[in-house]
Amino acid sequence: MRARTLLPLAILLGGCGRPLPPPTRPVGPTLRVMTYNVNFGIAGDAETIAAIERGGADLVFLQETTPGWEAALRRALGRRYPHQAYRHSGGAGGLAILSRRPIREAAYLAPPGEWFPAWRAIVESPLGPLQVLQVHLRPPVSDRGSWVSGYFTTGGYRRGEIAHFARDLRRDLPTLVVGDFNEASGGQAVRFLEERHGLTDTLERFQPGATTWQWQTSVGRIRLQLDHILHDARLRALDARVLRLGRSDHFPIVALFARASAEPAHGASAQESTRFSSAGAAPPGAR
């Protein structure tokens, strides 16, 4: 989320969340996933890269990446994440995937309006092939540039965006939807995924009310919940936390998953077997 004038939103400050339930003790393979809007204006920031590293995730999904961010991340985290993929989209529209295991592209999705694209990928994981839709939805700013009225009036637009991006989700693979939703757990886009696709918001379960974004103003610090990791019933969430790390205006979320059953993982379709890069090589069409 980009912020310019958010002073009137001070009345909408999010809470600190209720006490956390203890994480579930894992049995069998697990997968740790991070989503993080790294802020396109601070490309290469060492504290923000350190926050990614400290999260210890197997899979990392980043928003607002740029060519500068790509160069810094490949240099700093290439060994930890030998499989990296980038899609640059100017300004705040960039997306990236960092993975310990191979990544396959499924679809790079143009937005239904003037805002940001989304990215659907098939990734290899300790739990088997996994489908992930990464999004960066419209900020709560009105068409006239008002952040106050936009906070109350743009929910329907984000619902339309997520409906557009989610329409081609495969039904035969465990699924995550992650990213900067620019709205809280009760927002229209989050509710759409819960009601139409049966997804569950991990942060709402483990750290309800937690804020993931902050902005300093002349009247104080504004904090809101904007980022999410949602999963379908084939995955079981064991834990989800906001990490108060880095210098972005957003904080990373990390969630831990296991398979919901002992059913063996099946391979992904051969039609979606295009491999992405190892460290140092860019995926086709990513420039």
Tell me, what CATH number does 176's domain have?
A: 3.60.10.10
pLDDT of residue 273: 33
Is 216 a domain residue?
Answer: yes
pLDDT value at residue 144: 62
Summarize pLDDT for 22-74 with one digit per residue, the tens. 566 666 899 999 999 999 999 999 999 999 999 999 999 999 999 999 999 99
User: Residue 162: pLDDT above 80?
Assistant: yes
Q: Give the pLDDT score at 48.
A: 98
Check pLDDT > 60 for residue 147.
no
Percent with pLDDT over 90 in the chain: 69
- Would you say residue 115 lies in a domain? yes
Contact yes or no for 1/180 (Cβ under 8 A): yes
Token pair for 10: 């001070």
Indicate the number of domains in the chain: 1
Residue 1 placed within a domain? no
Inside any domain, residue 13: no
Give the per-residue pLDDT at 216: 82
- Whether residue 252 lies inside any domain: the answer is yes
What's the pLDDT score for residue 150?
A: 60
The predicted pLDDT at position 114 comes to: 86
The pLDDT of residue 39 is 97
Which pLDDT score, from 0 to 100, does residue 143 have?
A: 63
In a domain, 284, yes or no: no
Distance between CA 45 and CA 71 in Å, rounded? 12
Predicted confidence (pLDDT) per residue in 194-205, tens digit = 999 999 999 999
- In this structure, is residue 181 part of a structural domain? yes
Instruction: Write out the residue range of the structural domain in which residue 242 sits.
Output: 28-261
In a domain, 268, yes or no: no
Distance of alpha carbon 239 from the chain centroid? 16
* Angstrom distances, CA of residue 8 to CA of 2, 77, 139, 187, 200: 16, 39, 16, 19, 31
CA distance 156 to 152: 10
